[in-house]
Amino acid sequence: MSKISLKTWHFLLVFAILGISSTIIWSNELEKNPVAGRNSSLVELNDRMFSDSVVTGTCIVLFYTKSDVCYKMEQNLNQLNNATEGHTRFFKLNIEDYPGEYGKYVISGTPTTIIFKDGQEIDRIMGIVPVSNLLMLYKRSI
């Protein structure tokens, strides 16, 4: 029976192969997921527009940061917006740019989505929620 002897260069070769393959896979994933904010039907708010935008009717506001998780939730809200056929207004607010609203609504993490009706918070969604569940929450809140 022969004894297998592993050398340092064997481990370095395996490490290099894993590094190269993960880089290739990661770059392919980035191509599938475009930069956040493209093709969004959510209207970008600033701190001055926020109060005026949520004071009447029903609206949904995504509090976000620039991250993949927030981008995914934004895409789900885009699909919900298409499904509701314009009966509700959809907005987004970057909490890094406007920390006043972040503190006012006690946002503990992103993405956080708040449903407002006539200026009052009626429901809060934290994290990523599938479109089917968003539709259920929307129908329950409206």
Domain map of the chain by residue range? 43-141
Q: What is the pLDDT of residue 27?
A: 63
DSSP string for 115-132: EEETTEEEEEEES---HH
Find out if CATH 3.20.20.30 is the number for domain 43-141.
no
Q: What is the pTM of this model?
A: 0.71
- Per-residue pLDDT of 8-58, as tens digits, reads 887 888 888 888 877 777 666 555 554 444 578 899 998 888 888 888 889
- Per-residue pLDDT of 97-126, as tens digits, reads 888 777 788 888 899 999 999 999 999 999
Q: What is the pLDDT of residue 126?
A: 94
In 3D space, the residue among 90, 93, 83 whose CA is nearest the CA of residue 139 turns out to be: 83
Sign of the C-alpha dihedral, residues 84, 89, 94, 95?
negative
